[in-house]
Amino acid sequence: MRIHHVGSMNVNPYQRQFNKTEQAAKAPNKKDKVEISLAAKELQEASKFEAARQEKIEQLKQQIQTGTYQMDEKAIAESILNYYFRK
């Protein structure tokens, strides 16, 4: 019995796979990139203001406890008028 090389076209599937891995190795490595959105940047800024605000609140609490806090009645009344009548 004689066997002919039917369909043999010098195709080696292992060579094909090897070529794919070589091409993948030669491809430039892409680096990950992180971008912070504008909203996230604003939140970061807000956290800085929050820390300053918290510090001011602590100072005011301390002044009230020691009795050294002085209120400005005119400024308070003016602020209330501005809020309700001069929007």
pLDDT tens, position by position, 14-63: 677 777 777 766 767 778 888 888 888 888 888 788 888 999 999 999 99
Q: What was the pLDDT predicted at 9?
A: 61
Q: What was the pLDDT predicted at 87?
A: 62
Q: What was the pLDDT predicted at 63?
A: 93
pTM to 2 decimal places: 0.39
Q: What was the pLDDT predicted at 3?
A: 66
The CB-side HSE value for 19 (13 A sphere, CA atoms) comes to 6
* Cα–Cα distance for residue pair 50/53, rounded to 1 Å: 5
* Cα–Cα distance for residue pair 64/32, rounded to 1 Å: 52
